[in-house]
Structure 1
Amino acid sequence: MVMVELKGLHVVKAKGRVYYYAWRGGPPIKGAEPGTPEFQAAYNEAIANHKIPDRKRFLSVIVRYRASKAYLDLAESTRRNWGPWLDRIADHFGSLRTAQFDRTDIIRPLIRKWRGKYADTPRTADYGMQVLSRVLAHAVDPLGELGSNPCEGIKQLYAASRAEIIWTEDDIAHLKKTCSTEIGHAVDLAAHTGLRAGDLVRLSWSHVGEDAIVITTGKSRHRREAVIPLYAELREVLARIPRRSPVILTSSKKRPWAKDGLSSSFGEAKGEAWPDGDDLHFHDLRGTAATKFYLAGLSEREIAEMMAWDEDYVSRIIRRYVSRSAAIRERIRKLDEARKERQNP
């Protein structure tokens, strides 16, 4: 089948699959094979919709934001996640006059009602609000069509502190359904060591001793050492990783990760696993490791030494990273042990 050259068509190849977008940063063209009349029609519709509509309507703000440098400069994975949300926002608010968004007494109840459609999944609802807020901020500056952003002051539905978020085993399993083997290795190693991404990508096999991984941390400008004992689960993780290079983690090209390469690839993998967005970050795996160590009975000081945290505030950091339920279970264990000691002196 002959593929007609379509001006601006953006093609992305990832993990053996090919994705087509009407333009770089534009909407994906789905449900049709390139070169078919259906594909051409979908492309034509996207281009037609890209033409700036009535500038007095909010749809024109969305269209101009999509074409802006601010949007196009976002990471490709972010645009892939935000695209469907921009479509939903356009469908719901696009026909409103932009000036109506300056009437906070009227528009805020409408925004809250729209958010309420996703209230069953608070993180998803907040993610949609984040995208809407960014579009409205664009209408304030640089467009100058609104005096203020009506999303400001609307509280998030999901109230957990960033530091209290950790990856669960189910979260990791869900990511592994779609991510590459190499990303899976990185996630496993982070969850079992608590090392930051910057330290993980330079972690070499020579850092792995007979009993522990010992590496200076970049965060401390290499003045501190992380000393992670080689417990059974960590040994199993290391045993699954092939030795392709002096460094432990390598990309799918079987070479050490380039600068920011792991973060970029991880972002794309997370975007594919959670197309509607999720609040999990790579560095939240440090909290997962801290929880693992704490539940294993290690003291806060021991965990601090392992993860190269400052002892002056380690107790506060551990409490923030370790989930409340985990901390309560650990306290129950200690109280039960103390009771047994009193009963059996």
Structure 2
Amino acid sequence: MVSVVLKGVVKVTAKGRTYYYAWRGGPRLDGKPGSPEFIASFNEAVASRRTADDGKIRGLVAHYRASPAFTGLAPTTRKIWTRWLDRVVERFGDYRVGLFDHPEKIRPIIKRWRDTWADRPRSADYAIQVLSRVMTHAVDLDRISANPCEGIKSLYEVDRAETIWSDDDLAAFKAEASPEVWRGVLLASLTGFRAEDLRRLSWNHIGEFEITIPTSKSRGGRSAFVPLYDALRDALKDMPRRSTTVLTNEKGRPWKDGPNGSGFRAAREAALPGRDLHFHDLRGTFATRAHLAGLSNREIAELLAWDEARVDRIIRRYVGRRAIAEGMILKLNRNAARTGSAKP
């Protein structure tokens, strides 16, 4: 007998009996799984749902999930957005798409939904971000004339411009971290690579003069590279070759730790209590060092695979004013020493 996998079917066991539903919250299916009766009831449920949902938000979200705008996202982004798309359907699934073409009516409802996460501003902003992307999809389909989420202010405001890892921070972290976690943090500070790219970094990506790796953020469309300057070359020499990947765990398998790893969090909390440092701030730390070393914004954009048109804004975000001022002071002092105008 050929088994047929029906996507979305939900199995529920209650009081010793098992029931099957076409989807979570959907109609109950008849017959046993795999039987003609079961398949027929499933197809009937799906057909009726498509007809009923065609003009509703749940139908729009389903269309968005199948579109290149969603399938083209990085895997980690799709995983996170899937949860938020489910929440959009849970709250607005039965709303007619046309209602979202009347911002004066729908915006207050959207804001109240957002405010259910008022105690978690970042979550609240994520809710608006994902809903806004669905509304943009509706605009692209000519279902509505404008995105009603545009102009809704963010609740989470944070300036991480000055949030970089100092040499003392790195030394304190090294003292508490396992060798495997420390190597990941060290390479991040020396290359500016994202955690996902560091996990994929293999010895084959390392050339005679530079490291070049297609970035996960661009799905391989762009590559980040960094020259093998002395500090980076020395760090790589100390890395044990236990796998095809540069970073490994204690068993010699590819490294899986990073921003959300228990090893990273535990070492950070032990070494840097009260310091709001993130793994991603190591990217800004590298940008700061590159800027202070005299690299131009164009060169930094090339190293980090950033869009050159946006590099000035990104540098201002990551490179603190104090760091910029210190770099200017060094340059001015060097110039004064060359011209003989420096004071004894």
Question: For this structure pair, what is the TM-score category when the shorter chain's length is used for normalisation?
Answer: 0.5 to 0.7
Distance in 1, Cα, partners of 2:157 & 2:3: 48
Other-structure match for 2:105: 106
Question: Structure 1, residues 87-129: CA drift from partner, whole Å, max 9, x if none?
Answer: 2212222232222111111211221222122233332222211
Matched pairs, number:
264
Structure 1 stretch 245-254 or stretch 90-99: which is displaced more? 245-254
Tell me whether 1:215 sits opposite 2:194 in the alignment: no
Aligned equivalents of 1:58, 1:217: Cα separation in 2: 43
Matches of 1:8 and 1:131, distance apart in 2:
27
Matches within 5 A, 1:146-157: 146-157=144-155
The normalised TM-score by structure 1 is 0.52
Aligned with residue 286 of structure 1, among 278, 283, 289 = 283
1:132 deviates by: 0.4
Q: Could you tell me how far apart the structure 1 residues matched to 2:313 and 2:106 are?
A: 41
Note the C-alpha offset of 1:37: 6.3
Greater relative contact order, per chain length (Cα 8 Å cut-off, separation 6+) = 1
Matched AA of 1:215: E
The residue aligned with 1:41 is 20
Equivalent of residue 243 in structure 1, options 241, 249, 256: 241
1:194 and 2:191 aligned: yes
Q: What pairs with 1:54-203 in structure 2 (closer than 5 Å)?
A: 54-142=53-141, 144-160=142-158, 187-196=184-193, 201=201
Change (3 A) 1:224 1:63: closer
1:302 aligned to 288, 293, 302, which one?
Answer: 293
Deviations 1:148-181 (A, max 9, x none): 1111222333345797776898xxx9xxxxxxx9
Q: Secondary structure in 1 aligned to 2:241? A: coil
2:229 matched residue in structure 1: 227
Identity %: 38
Query: SS in structure 1 opposite 2:229?
Result: strand
Deviations along 1:299-318, whole A, 9 cap, x unmatched? 9643749xx749xx999976
CA contact (8 A) 1:193 1:228 kept: no
Question: Bigger radius of gyration, 1 or 2?
Answer: 2
- TM-score of the pair, normalised by structure 2: 0.52
Change in Cα spacing, 1:110 to 1:248, as seen in structure 2 (3 Å) is: same
Which amino acid is the alignment partner of residue 244 of structure 1?
Answer: R
Give secondary structure in 1 for the equivalent of 2:20.
helix
1:22-50: CA deviation from partner (whole Å, max 9, x where unpaired): 38xxxxx7998xxx965x63665377586
Matched residues in 1 for 2:67 and 2:205: separation?
A: 45
Aligned partners of 1:163 and 1:284 also within 8 Å: no
Change (3 A) 1:318 1:139: closer
Work out whether residues 56 and 98 of structure 1, in 8 Å CA contact, stay in contact via their aligned partners in 2. Answer: yes
The answer to whether the Cα contact below 8 Å between 1:166 and 1:288 also exists between their aligned partners in 2 is: yes
* SS of match in other structure, 2:110: helix
Looking at structure 1, the residues matched to 23 and 260 of structure 2 have their Cα atoms a distance apart, in angstroms, of: 30
In 1, Cα distance between equivalents of 2:258 and 2:145: 34
* 1:322, distance to aligned residue in structure 2 (A): 3.6
Q: In the TM superposition, what is the alpha-carbon distance from 1:225 to its structure 2 partner?
A: 3.6
Name the CA shift for 1:266/1:71 in 2 (closer, same or farther; >3 Å). farther
| Residue type of the alignment partner of 2:293 | E
Contact 1:58 1:93 in 2 (8 A): yes
Tell me the amino acid that sits aligned with residue 41 of structure 1. Answer: Y
CA gap 1:60/1:281 in 2 versus in 1, 3 angstroms:
farther
CA distance in 2, matches of 1:222, 1:117: 39
Q: Which amino acid aligns with 1:60?
A: G
For the structure 1 residues 327 and 202, does the alpha-carbon distance in structure 2 shift closer, same or farther, using more than 3 Å as the test? same
Q: Distance in 1 between matches of 2:68 and 2:232?
A: 47
Deviation at residue 86 of structure 1 after TM alignment: 1.7
Structure 1: unaligned runs, 5 residues or longer: 10-21, 24-28, 174-180, 209-213, 257-261, 274-279, 294-298, 335-344
Mapped to 2, the partners of 1:68 and 1:196 lie a distance apart of 29
In structure 1, what is the Cα distance between the partners aligned to 2:257 and 2:183? 9
